[in-house]
Amino acid sequence: MPRSTFLVTVSGPDRIGVGAELFHALHSLKDNGVHLVDVAQITIRGTLVLCAEVNSESGLTEASLTAVLLERAIEGQGMSVHVEEVTPTDTIEGRRLLVTLLAPQISAGQLEAVFHAVAESDATCERIVHLASYPVDCYELIVIGPDHAILRAKLTIVANECALDLAVQRAGLHRRAKHLVVIDADSTLLQHEVIDLLGEASGQAEEVSRITRAAMSGEIDFGEALRQRVALLAGLPASVLDDVRAQLSLAPGARTLLRTLQRLGYVPAVVSGGFVEILAPLLAGLNIEHFAANRLEIVDGTLTGRLAGEIVDRAGKARALRHFAEVVGVPLEQTVAVGDGANDIDMLSVAGLGIAFNAQAAVQAHADAALSVPYLDAVLYFLGISREEIETG
């Protein structure tokens, strides 16, 4: 007897026990050759849609299967059951991709553009999850298509045109296995550039800021720029470092990001072109064990205008990420890097997921994802962590 495939759809006001009733009814038909193939469910504003795909080799029809379900399971209370015989279609080949969309508010027009890009790539969306509605809007799509390069390129164009932050990642359990998250300090974890604050203390604010801007935009080698700026600090008393630390503020959402990562078993780390003497006490208070930064040379309580030890520059940040991954015991593809400046590019490129945070276009070009919102905890959405999970802790 030929096999028949049915799609069973249960819909109506959500209530306790609906799923149990449906699966009890389907289980009772196992001796009649009815087998469960797939299940999907969504509940929006108290309205449930529960779908089950089943195969039957016993000659069941739509009418007979509907009658059995109504008799043994779900009826009344506004709930309806619809059974439709379907013809299995060829599935789209290719691995699944996770597409994360984020903006202050996502409109139907923006989603229309995204889904046009998906369709133009001969791809289809299997699932949509609303990860957050505040302080930003975030949707995660599971998309499957034959050519991931084309899909990624089309979605990137749409994201730029529609003012959407976008991440495209390979789907799978490996994403929740990214146990190391390495974060840049200045203008990422912190709202400030520490060297600029030191420049103000030395009376060289304008010159230090000029060199900083040139370094962050990639116009000048970071190592050379750092040496030039530190030289302008010569003669400052070491006590100024405490004064500068007292001025520092974390980026909005930074504490939430770190607290959530730590609670869920991720390991946060910090790399910085700034200075150990300022960052170490701050990071200790945030329970961050792994960090790398530059060291200032201090003699007799005074800054000499020189650095001590190896410089943490663009290449140094990438080395630090590799070192942290080795210490924590995770492969590079299970690491995340977050940064905003040109000296973060190597780190963003090395990480399994590189996220440019309010960065210039040149930096975004080297990242897998970009965030333009001011909330650092939005990084969590690119890891598939919902607002509900964040607030659970």
> Could you give the CA distance from residue 16 to residue 52 in angstroms, rounded to a whole number?
18
Catalytic residue among 14, 147, 165, 184: 184
Backbone φ and ψ for 222, nearest 5 degrees, come out as -60, -40
66 DSSP β-pair partners: none
- Which of the pair, 80 or 159, is modelled with greater confidence? 159
Residue 75 clears pLDDT 60, i.e. is over it: no
- Mean pLDDT computed over 161-182: 83
* pLDDT of res. 201: 93
Given a contact cutoff of 8 angstroms between Cβ atoms, the answer to whether 50 and 21 are in contact is no
Catalytic residue among 137, 186, 196, 377: 186
pLDDT over 90, % of the chain: 61
Known catalytic residue at 242: no
291 DSSP β-pair partners: 270
CATH architecture classification, 4-86: 2-Layer Sandwich (3.30)
Reported as a single tens digit per residue, the pLDDT across 330-384 is 999 999 999 999 899 999 999 999 999 999 888 999 999 999 999 999 999 999 9
State the fold for domain 180-392: Rossmann fold (3.40.50)
Residue 77: count of CB within 10 angstroms of its CB: 9
Q: Tell me the whole-structure pTM to 2 decimals.
A: 0.81
* pLDDT of res. 88: 59
At CA 347, angle to CA 208 and CA 382, rounded to 5?
110
Given a contact cutoff of 8 angstroms between Cβ atoms, the answer to whether 373 and 219 are in contact is no
Quote the DSSP letter at residue 31: G
Reported as a single tens digit per residue, the pLDDT across 228-281 is 999 999 999 999 999 999 999 999 999 999 999 999 999 999 999 999 999 999
pLDDT band at 91 (very low <50, low <70, confident <90, very high): very low
Reported as a single tens digit per residue, the pLDDT across 122-154 is 999 988 989 999 999 999 999 988 888 899 899
Reported as a single tens digit per residue, the pLDDT across 207-223 is 998 998 887 777 888 88
Residue 110 clears pLDDT 80, i.e. is over it: yes
- Which of the pair, 203 or 91, is modelled with greater confidence? 203
- Mean pLDDT computed over 36-58: 84
What residue ranges of the chain are covered by domains with CATH 3.40.50.1000? 180-392
> Could you give the CA distance from residue 325 to residue 182 in angstroms, rounded to a whole number?
9
What residue ranges of the chain are covered by domains with CATH 3.30.70.260? 4-86, 96-171
> Could you give the CA distance from residue 278 to residue 103 in angstroms, rounded to a whole number?
34
Look up the CATH number of domain 96-171: 3.30.70.260
* pLDDT of res. 1: 56
* pLDDT of res. 24: 85
Known catalytic residue at 196: no
Quote the DSSP letter at residue 122: T
In sequence order, the 6+-apart residues with CB closer than 8 A to the CB of 350 are 318, 321, 322, 332, 335, 337
- Mean pLDDT computed over 176-182: 82
